[in-house]
Amino acid sequence: MGPAATWLPAVRRLLPGLAGAGAADHVALTFDDGPDPRSTPRFLDELARLGCRATFFVLGEMLERHPALGRRVVADGHEIAVHGWHHGNALAAAPGRTAAEIGAAARLVMAVTGVRPAWYRPPYGVLSAEALVAARVLGLRPVLWTAWGRDWTRSATPSSVLAALAPGLRGGATLLLHDSDHTSASGSWRSGLGALPELVARCRSAGLRVGPLRDHGVSGVSGSRGSSGSRGAVRRHPVLHHTPGTAAPGNTGDAENTPGPWNGFHDNPLPTTRKEKPGAFQ
């Protein structure tokens, strides 16, 4: 499968698990690009008011800046997952860079929240072979979406978000929205936030439950894991020594605070200051 093939509707129809197709009576609500102190708390407050839980796909660079907000996501009962470090396109990345960033983000999620992430969603939906292998090594399940609200544009409104989601709003759907404008038009997150009450109401009126991916019954996933605490107690990685506010694990110290190069799947996913037992995070 080519790196950008996951964009194609035909591919996603043939691979419903990759698209996030789930139980017929459930809709998975997911958010990308946070945590962002300007907007994520508003989403958390609104979800609490609506009595909903969701999955938040966080960027490592955002979580490193706002670790307390990442902890709040989990404390509020939501699921936290990996969206990479920067919002980079795997097609333009140097060899090893995508894998390094996935590894750094996954370890940071554990260091900050104490939760082992279960899911990885590639930026732009571009899933390269390198990203697939890295996700597998890290125990992450790649997942895309079945419907999106196109809430990243400057012209997006709550009505336009609902209209974009409507054709795919059915049982088993995985919905993509954004809780941050970090990689999109300034203030665009307000359109998704404004659409939430009506979106949830429509699902419930159709007899559909709304919740995170861990409760979605995605094809090929036996049991849920992640912040729900299933599959046993959370295992801590022996090299998770990152302190919030300092360079992330594997950081090279460059101006962009970019994780260092991939160092082999059977040794260390990223350079560290201590010897790591092979496979400890698998």
- The catalytic site residues sit at 32, 178
Kindly give the interhelix angle for 129-137 and 97-113, rounded to the nearest 10 degrees.
30
d(CA 82, CA 118): 8
CB 270 within 8 A of CB 107: yes
Q: Is 262 helix (H, G, I), strand (E, B) or coil?
A: coil
The residue whose two tokens read 């996933």 is: 221
CB 101 within 8 A of CB 259: yes
Q: How far from chain centre, in Å, is Cα 193?
A: 18
Residues in the chain, overall count: 282
Q: Which two tokens stand for residue 189?
A: 């997150």
Q: How many helices (H) and strands (E) does the chain have?
A: 9, 8
